[in-house]
Structures are given as C-alpha cells and as structure tokens.
Amino acid sequence: MGKKCIYCRARAGIFGRVCADCKKLLGRVQDLRGKVSFGQFLDGLEQTGIDKEKILRFLQADPDGRGSIQDQVTAEMTTELMQVMGMSGRQTAQEVKRIRDSVGKEPE
Ligand SMILES: [Zn+2]
C-alpha cells in the first residue's frame, strides 16, 4: 500500500497526500509568495536543503488542476507587475499555463 505524494510522487506514508519534504516546501511557499522575486523565491525553497530536482518536481506538479505552484506564483507576480505599471486585469495560473503550453508546442 502506501500513498504517493501528490506533488513529487515520492511515498507519502499512510497519512496525508503530501510527503514531509513537500509539506515543508508548501510552508515555505506560503511564507515567500507575494514578498519576493522569483529568484529569491527559488533561493528560499533551496534553503530548506531539499533536493533541487525535487523542488522542481514540486513546483511543476498540478495535483488539483488549478495550475502548478510555479504557474500560480508566476501569475501572482505578473498581476503585481501589471498593477505597478498601472495596467488593469489579472493574470491567472491557467493563463500562464496556456501561454507556456502554446510557446512550448512544436507546430505539427
Ligand atoms: Zn512530495
């Protein structure tokens, strides 16, 4: 048995859907989001001492279909930037994902 972590797919144990490392990362995300640049955000996550590969997997996971943490944070930062520049509207994680998908896609 044993459930897998919804973020990094490591074994999460019998309780919960998130492993100890990702739980730590989630806490860190809550501390950092909205306060720092994306580079500082990544540095902050690395300060947990968790494997960089695992951090990336965590950031790119989209367990509930609302967009990955990376997309959510990018959307928040973009919205903030738009407001600073006096533009209205807000960027959503779905929109970031859509743009990234369309950019990354090769023409058929
Ligand atoms: Zn995990």
Using CA atoms, how far apart are residues 5 and 16, in angstroms rounded to an integer?
8
Ligand 1 mean position, distance from CA 45 (Å) = 14
Lowest mean pLDDT among 29-38, 39-48, 49-58: 29-38
How confident is the model over 1-27, as pLDDT tens digits?
A: 568 999 998 887 776 889 999 999 999
Residues 53-98: pLDDT tens digits? Answer: 999 999 999 988 989 999 999 999 888 888 888 988 888 888 888 8
Predicted TM-score (pTM) of the model is 0.79
Residue 9 to residues 1, 18, 33: CA-CA distances in angstroms? 14, 9, 23
**Short-list 56, 67, 68, 35, CA closest to 45:** 56
In the three-class reduction of DSSP (H, G, I as helix; E, B as strand; rest coil), residue 100 is classed as helix
Q: Which residues have a beta carbon within 5 Å of ligand 1, which is an ion?
A: 5, 7-8, 10, 19, 22
Least-confidence region, from 46-50, 85-89, 104-108: 104-108
- 24: CA distance to ligand 1 center in Å? 9
Ligand 1 centroid–CA 23 distance in Å is: 7
Do 18 and 12 contact (CB within 8 A), yes or no? yes
